[in-house]
Amino acid sequence: MRLVNRLDRELGDGASLVAILDYDGTLTPLVATPGAAHLAPSVRETLARLAESERARLAILSGRGLADLRSRVALRDVVYGGCHGLEIAGRQLRFRHPGARPSCLTATRRALTASLPSIPGARLEWKGLAVSLHYRRVAPGRRPRVRDIATRIVRAGGLTLVPGHEVFDFVPRVGWNKGRAARWIARRMARTLPPRRRVVLYVGDDTSDESAFVALRDRAVTICVGAKPTAAEYRVAGVREVQALLRRMASAMNS
């Protein structure tokens, strides 16, 4: 109720909104395989209403690859950030971190491929500027080995390891994360809004979202999805609560 009251108060009197949202575990429930995380039509409709408002700007910031993220949300007037913000595109914004190159990941991808036979159930996903080691289907007793392999390979490859929900993302070590990406997006989208009070909102559920919660502290309304320890100011129980908030914000922005 405290969060709802704050949003109602902040978004009243014609204020503008910059909403930055994670995808998996925030807009869609966590599922057995990443490919099965489809956006519900009702959620897409709500996002479309929000994105089409003259008073609102919407961004989806995810560890997914940029092309994959865009195809799953499939909305115009949205800014998309893939690979933890290493690539950003939409609404005439375009960014690709100059230090992030697929060639940085070649040796790591090769080493991970060679390690797969020793961890049954693990799967690799190539994302262009990141490579992911998924272990949702790895037996619990073998999961410590997954972490050992990931730690060893990331040290040898000079990359950064980003842990997530039963996944390790290997990304170029360029001093970039969701926190820096969220601030980059928020600044640029705010410039396109009417010159009145602007509210920034960030919602996410994963370990990688913590950098955004910290980077946006005292600059945004930050919301963590789930029960884990967090730097976010507010917390909601799950995806359904996020969807209810989005409907409320879409109504406010179109009133």
SS (H, E, C) 62-92: CCCCHHHHHHHHCCCCEEEEEHHHCEEEECC
pLDDT at 104: 86
CA quadruple 50, 44, 191, 200: dihedral positive or negative?
positive
| Structure confidence by residue, pLDDT tens digits, 122-180 | 999 999 999 999 999 999 999 999 999 999 999 887 899 999 999 999 999 999 999 99
Q: Distances in Å between the alpha carbon of 142 and those of 31, 112, 115, 120, 137?
A: 20, 16, 13, 9, 10
| Structure confidence by residue, pLDDT tens digits, 225-239 | 999 999 999 999 999
| Structure confidence by residue, pLDDT tens digits, 35-46 | 889 999 999 999
**65, two tokens:** 């690859």
Domains and CATH numbers, the chain: 2-97+176-253 (3.40.50.1000), 102-172 (3.30.70.1020)
| Structure confidence by residue, pLDDT tens digits, 194-212 | 878 899 999 999 999 999 9
Pick the more confident residue, 55 or 1: 55
pLDDT at 35: 86
Give the torsion through C-alpha atoms of 206, 209, 211, 216, to 10 deg.
-150
